[in-house]
Amino acid sequence: MAAKLRAKIAGTGSYLPEKVLTNFDLEGMVETSDEWIITRTGIRERRIAATESCTDMAAKAAERALKSAGVTASEIELVVVGTVTPEMSFPSTACFVQSRLEIKTGVPAFDLSAACSGFLYALDVAEKYVAAGVAKKALVIGVDRFSQLIDWSDRSTCVLFGDGAGAVVLSATRGKSGVMASNIHSDGRKWDMLYAPGEAAKTPFVEQGDQRSSDEEHRSQYLSMSGNETFKVAVRTMVASIKEALKDAGIGAEEIKLLIPHQANQRIIKATRERLKLPEERVYMNLDKYGNTSAGSIPIALDEASREGRLKRGDIVVFVAFGGGLTWSSAAVRW
């Protein structure tokens, strides 16, 4: 009997915008300090897509992933993009990437909305197409331009986020490498812990008397977050999600070579790591350079870890994310 079909991560790529916004720059914008931001979050600077669109970042990350996989765009049979800041309401950013990279006509391309869990949701879906034999090669992208969702006068949120994109190429294999287990979860009842109405907050059909002040209208579009509550739920759900992935993969936490968590806050990551009794060197962090890039965070970190030589063939790497929705997700992969 032939071995089980698996989705192997054949290549990785990422793109970070050129503009750097440091904590010191933020000191000039809101009442905050470099020291407060570093102590509470671990973030030193972030990138801002001042000239890049969502598609620009996604396409560049995807091109780099294809190059690292040694796969041509013409071989791609599925494109899935996790994003909550798409290029337009429609078409999907995935369709824009298909066109920009000249991926074959007829290949399915679509976006998924799961905020910071967007990349892992996209990976979970694409993995199932590949493992079922429906697509031999798939492009999975996580991208967000969160700077457009932030109220830059709100110090409680503007210090946390940045923009960026990451991508992987999945390839069907009957070898041992590939996704071993993956889970995705959501709880829509807790939507108001973390949300951003964006353009949906606007309507041309407002009765004269109901018109909100322009200041209220302005603020209501932007990201809103219950920071402390988010912190606690993030740790609880991420630990549970990792344990589920490990159980489904039939391995123990001690076998994790590298945990790549969503890069939200170093204190959330530390609390998660301690509950799993993982040593510090087995957990990847680059949030000091980029902040929380939402759906971009895990594939950017994976790309950097891979290029730094942190992963060897056969190593177990575990991803975990948490985001608005609420959503949470984890995947265990043999490199």
Backbone angles phi, psi at 7, to 5 degrees: -100, 115
Q: Which residue is at the shortest CB distance from ligand ACO?
A: 323
Closer of 94 and 298 to ligand ACO (Cβ): 298
Amino acid at 218: H
Question: Which entry of 95, 116, 158, 185 is annotated as an active-site residue?
Answer: 116
* Structure-token pair, residue 15: 């793109």
Closest CA to 231 of 176, 160, 288, 286: 160
Closer of 130 and 194 to ligand ACO (Cβ): 194
Q: What does the angle CA 60 – CA 108 – CA 163 come to, to the nearest 5 degrees?
A: 30
For 129, the 3-state DSSP assignment is helix
- CA separation for the pair 79, 108 (Å, rounded): 6
Closer of 230 and 241 to ligand ACO (Cβ): 230
- CA separation for the pair 144, 53 (Å, rounded): 10
Site residues for ligand ACO per CB under 6 A: 32, 36, 40-41, 115-116, 155-156, 159, 194, 225, 227-228, 230-231, 234, 264-265, 268, 292, 294, 322-324
Say whether 218 is catalytic. no
Closer of 103 and 223 to ligand ACO (Cβ): 223
Say whether 185 is catalytic. no
Say whether 158 is catalytic. no
Question: Which entry of 23, 183, 265, 292 is annotated as an active-site residue?
Answer: 292
- CA separation for the pair 230, 238 (Å, rounded): 12
Question: Which entry of 54, 95, 158, 262 is annotated as an active-site residue?
Answer: 262
- CA separation for the pair 58, 167 (Å, rounded): 8
Nearest-approach distance from CB 48 to ligand ACO, in angstroms = 16
Nearest-approach distance from CB 37 to ligand ACO, in angstroms = 6
Nearest-approach distance from CB 292 to ligand ACO, in angstroms = 6
Closer of 211 and 226 to ligand ACO (Cβ): 226
Nearest-approach distance from CB 35 to ligand ACO, in angstroms = 9
Radius of gyration (C-alpha) of the chain in whole angstroms = 19
Nearest-approach distance from CB 193 to ligand ACO, in angstroms = 9
- CA separation for the pair 89, 80 (Å, rounded): 16
Give the catalytic positions in this structure: 116, 262, 292
